[in-house]
Amino acid sequence: MMGWPDGVGRRVLPETDSTMAEATRIAPELTGPEWILALNQTAARGRRGRHWAMPEGSFAASLVMRPGGGPAQAALRSFVASLALREAFLAIGVPAGAIRLKWPNDVLLNGGKVAGILLESLGSAQGVSHLVIGIGVNLAAAPDRSMVEAHALPPVSLRDQTGLQITPEAFLCPLAAAFDRIERQFATYGFAPIRTEWLSHAARLGDTVTARTAREETTGVFETVDEAGSIVLETSRGRRVIPAAEIYF
């Protein structure tokens, strides 16, 4: 098992409203990156303010860090986090072929959603002062299917799919170590090697998918992810580059 990364803080809370909110509260006092793990959340949230269901034994943590660069650069940490989650799953014994990465910020296990990532930037128009990366993982149980939106992938848990049992505290260590290593790679070599690695594990690459935004829905073949992290679809009307959307298979 990987050791805890040097220079990275860690705090474990029995309960909080949400690790994202706690990370925002403590950000001004921090001198380096810090992970906040909560064993229970009373007001967890997912993308676009959706309620985040947290069955008992689930993993809920946020990393608060100073990313450097602007908002576009900060947003690429979703790919760093996806790869770190994959590496953490491998470290605890999940077969590599069972894990796929779904653009922009989900991790799939045997085709179902086992983990999700949420990014929030803190700062002003002049730049990003802090980045908060929230990560939720269904370790012991998955939310009921009725709690997810229509047409979304079914939620699954690590225990149900693999028989593996691990506590949130134990899962945090390989995740933090993997994130630290990949973040250092990102800082040294940029997004290109991260993008290449992510694409090698991408779910439904080369298949037809639907990208849905608040304004439109686009269906096409998932061709690639570009240098800015946008999904590229080959559609009946030509090539479309979409920076943010919900993807449906």
Three-state SS string over 47-71 comes to HHHCECCCCCCCEEEEEEECCCCCH
Q: Can you tell me the distance from the alpha carbon of 232 to that of 226, in angstroms, rounded to the nearest whole number?
A: 7
Mean pLDDT of 47-75: 84
Same domain? For 130 and 216 the reply is: no
Q: Can you tell me the distance from the alpha carbon of 163 to that of 71, in angstroms, rounded to the nearest whole number?
A: 39
Same domain? For 194 and 221 the reply is: no
H/E segment holding residue 107: strand 106-109
Tokens encoding 223: 């061709």
Instruction: Determine the pLDDT at residue 124.
Output: 67
Residue-wise pLDDT for 104-145, tens only, equals 999 999 999 999 999 999 886 567 899 999 999 999 999 887
Tokens encoding 132: 């908060």
| CATH number, position 224 | 2.30.30
Residue-wise pLDDT for 185-213, tens only, equals 999 999 999 999 999 999 999 999 999 99
Q: How many domains does the chain have?
A: 2
Same domain? For 244 and 195 the reply is: no
Instruction: Determine the pLDDT at residue 123.
Output: 82
Quickly tell me which residue has 């730049």 as its tokens: 127
Same domain? For 60 and 97 the reply is: yes
| CATH number, position 27 | 3.30.930.10
Residue-wise pLDDT for 212-244, tens only, equals 998 999 999 999 999 999 999 999 999 999 999
Same domain? For 162 and 107 the reply is: yes
Instruction: Determine the pLDDT at residue 211.
Output: 97
- The reply to whether 117 falls in a domain is yes
Same domain? For 42 and 98 the reply is: yes
Identify the domain containing residue 223 by its residue range.
208-248
Same domain? For 109 and 148 the reply is: yes
Same domain? For 48 and 130 the reply is: yes
Query: What's the chain's average pLDDT?
Result: 93
Mean pLDDT of 136-159: 86
Same domain? For 168 and 244 the reply is: no
Instruction: Determine the pLDDT at residue 81.
Output: 98
Q: Can you tell me the distance from the alpha carbon of 188 to that of 194, in angstroms, rounded to the nearest whole number?
A: 11
- The reply to whether 2 falls in a domain is no
Same domain? For 89 and 126 the reply is: yes
Instruction: Determine the pLDDT at residue 51.
Output: 59
Q: Can you tell me the distance from the alpha carbon of 230 to that of 224, in angstroms, rounded to the nearest whole number?
A: 9
Q: Which residue has the higher pLDDT, 238 or 53?
A: 238
- The reply to whether 38 falls in a domain is yes
Asked if the model's pLDDT at residue 1 lies above 60, the reply is: no
Cβ atoms 49, 215 nearer than 8 A: no
Pairing relationship of beta strands 208-212 and 246-248 according to DSSP bridges: antiparallel
Same domain? For 242 and 170 the reply is: no
Instruction: Determine the pLDDT at residue 154.
Output: 92
Same domain? For 132 and 222 the reply is: no
